[in-house]
């Protein structure tokens, strides 16, 4: 039986430095795919999560819970909230300019998130060990200093860009070719520092 990966950073691990070509503080992080359920602006019922680069190894993100995001009547679905945190935490990889996959995501639900509310997520990289990137996030209700409703911790693993490109439909690759800011991120030739 294999060991379950931990989201707890190992002792002595360090917070990595932002990649010199990472987006500047305050920059809106583009959607990696217009039809992504998490951040895609063209997905008809998606979260339409919008994220901005913070001042260190952090980002902020937000989305409004719509009727399409309900689990129990009037409340956000827990799995959907986990998806929002996976999306926000994944956007931290823009700071490293490294493609990564989610290896483990832990989500704690502390308060109900009602339909019509806006969830403000702040996420940060807490350390990196080789290809493992540890990060955490909190989600606050209706303002950046509102009540904490959800928190999460995750472990991402940096992978070669070919992991994503080999399985991408042709129309996705065509869309990337027409989106300079995404194309700059998905350059399959940049180093991943394994």
- Which pLDDT band, with edges at 50, 70 and 90, does 181 fall under? low
In the predicted model, is pLDDT for residue 191 greater than 80?
no
State the pLDDT at residue 185. Answer: 53
Q: Which of 24, 136, 108, 115 is nearest to 73 (CA)?
A: 115
**Residue-wise pLDDT tens digits, 115-159:** 999 999 999 999 999 999 999 999 999 999 999 999 999 999 998
Range with lowest mean pLDDT among 27-36, 130-139, 171-180: 171-180
Tokens read off for 106: 């832990």
Residue 175 confidence (pLDDT) above 80 = no
pLDDT of residue 30: 87
Q: Could you tell me the pTM of the whole model?
A: 0.86
CATH architecture of 28-185: Roll (3.10)
Tokens of 149: 């409703």
pLDDT for res 171 = 74
As a whole number, mean pLDDT of residues 42-48 equals 89
Residue 147 main-chain phi, psi, to 5 deg:
-60, 140
Backbone angles phi, psi at 118, to 5 degrees: -105, 130
More confident residue, 118 or 172: 118
Which residues, at least 6 apart from 194, have a Cβ–Cβ distance to it below 8 Å?
130, 131, 158
**Residue-averaged pLDDT of the chain:** 87
For residue 192, pLDDT beyond 50 = no
């Amino acid at each position: 039986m294999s060991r379950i990966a931990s989201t707890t950073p190992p002792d002595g691990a360090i917070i990595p430095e932002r990649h010199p070509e990472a987006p500047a503080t305050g920059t809106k992080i583009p959607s990696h795919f217009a039809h992504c359920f998490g951040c895609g602006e063209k997905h008809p019922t998606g979260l339409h999560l919008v994220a901005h680069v913070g001042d260190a190894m952090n980002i902020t993100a937000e989305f409004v819970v719509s009727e399409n995001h309900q689990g129990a009547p009037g409340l956000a679905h827990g799995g959907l909230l986990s998806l929002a945190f996976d999306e926000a935490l994944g956007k931290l990889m823009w700071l490293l300019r490294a493609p990564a996959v989610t290896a483990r995501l832990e989500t704690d639900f502390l308060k109900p998130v009602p339909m019509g509310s806006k969830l403000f997520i702040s996420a940060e990289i807490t350390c990196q060990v080789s290809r493992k990137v540890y990060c955490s996030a909190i989600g606050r209700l209706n303002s950046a200093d509102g009540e904490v409703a959800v928190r999460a911790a995750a472990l991402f693993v940096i992978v070669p860009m070919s992991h994503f490109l080999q399985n991408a439909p042709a129309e996705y690759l065509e869309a990337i070719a027409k989106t300079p800011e995404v194309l700059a991120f998905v350059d399959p030739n940049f180093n991943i520092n394994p």
